[in-house]
Amino acid sequence: MLDDPAEAETWFARYFERYREAWRLHDDALACLHELTAPSAGSGAGAASAPLRLGIITNGDLAFQTRKLERLELTAHVEHFVASGDFGATKPDASIFLHAVDLFGVEPHEAAYIGDRFRTDAVGAADAGLTGVWLDRPGRATDAERTEAATRGIPILRSLAPLPALLRPHP
């Protein structure tokens, strides 16, 4: 136990530095990101569709999450970044999703939100009129969650690999 506040602060600073050094992307993240942000080949008369525009909504602290994006070299891919502390409402409140949609200048039904928490992310987005997608990497969805997701039209993904096809369906 650390009784000396200065010693505890030093310990925490070292711990936090190691924590930040451990930040890593999932193996499928960059491939998905590149596929989403590249123009698609299109169909018909050879028309290509524009790259998808990406943003982030976080219930975390903006400065902390920004440092994470910078460390992972993702800032160039993110057009808008909304943090609940700055906005004044947290996910799953519809207002934070609608604020992000307004920043992009699109209607809710034209936007999708992908998150790793069923109720906070996927259901919150769906309740706001967006396409909610649940990234359930560990596969821990309960039967009740799977049923609710199916009823609400919320896809459940185990990886990011199917996401580009989901967001850019081919005719």
Structural domain boundaries enclosing 106: 27-37+52-167
Task: Give the count of domains, the chain.
Answer: 1
Report yes or no on 90 lying in a domain: yes
CATH number of the domain encompassing residue 120: 3.40.50.1000
Please state the φ and ψ torsions of residue 112, each to the nearest 5 degrees. -130, 150
Report yes or no on 117 lying in a domain: yes
Cα distances from 112 to residues 41, 137, 138, 157, 167, in angstroms, run 21, 18, 21, 14, 8
Instruction: Please check whether residue 38 is in contact with residue 57, taking contact to mean a CB–CB distance below 8 angstroms.
Output: no
Report yes or no on 56 lying in a domain: yes
Distance in angstroms between the alpha carbons of the first and the last residue of the chain: 62
What was the pLDDT predicted at 3? 80
Report yes or no on 42 lying in a domain: no
Report yes or no on 85 lying in a domain: yes
Report yes or no on 147 lying in a domain: yes
Report yes or no on 93 lying in a domain: yes
Report yes or no on 135 lying in a domain: yes
pLDDT tens, the chain, 171 aa long: 678 888 888 888 888 888 888 889 999 999 999 999 888 765 555 556 788 999 999 999 999 999 999 999 999 899 999 999 999 999 999 999 999 999 999 999 999 999 999 999 999 999 999 999 999 999 999 999 999 999 999 999 999 999 999 998 765
What was the pLDDT predicted at 78? 93
Full-model pTM: 0.86
